[in-house]
Structure 1
Amino acid sequence: MSDNPDEIIVHAVDKCDICGESLQDISPERHIIRQVVDIPEVKVKIIEHRAEVKKCPKCRRKNTGKFPDGITNSVRYGGKVKAVSVYLTQYQMIPFK
């Protein structure tokens, strides 16, 4: 169990199970603790690369900015997506379909 959980949810007791008396103003004697360990939600990060196109005022030639190596198509998957794909298909044996 973790001594420093990221989130704590208290499940309060509002009334007595037998007589229905209100317990809202009564302090708890103790807490029974159970923890759930999970992976946080994964969010896709999309990075857009923009190459400038500028025309030289002197010679009128159009000059284009250079994309980094490997950025050759309009859309591509990054290295982490590829790594997860290989892990799921080769180690976990999850089919492509």
Structure 2
Amino acid sequence: MLTGRMSMDENQLNGEHNLVEWVWPYLEEKPRLYGLIDPCLEGRFSIKRAQKAIQLAAHCLGHAPKVRPLMSEVVEALKSLLNLKDMACS
């Protein structure tokens, strides 16, 4: 949802075929987080919602499966993003 990329894409550059492997370096450095966002959005997205969605994605990608959220928790978290009161940047 955030990146506009498929989970596996052989058309991407070498080392970027696997979405999860491509995402990890971005999640480790806060200033790079916006590099994850689909460039087709052209800056038309809510920064607050994007930050929350990125945090949720990072939680889903945790190394220990037992600490990853249940899908029902992910759905609820995504629903809560719809209720955030903020402006989209342009």
TM-score, normalised to structure 1's length? Answer: 0.20
Higher share in helix: 2
Higher share in strand: 1
When Rg is computed on C-alpha atoms for both structures, the one with the higher figure is: 1
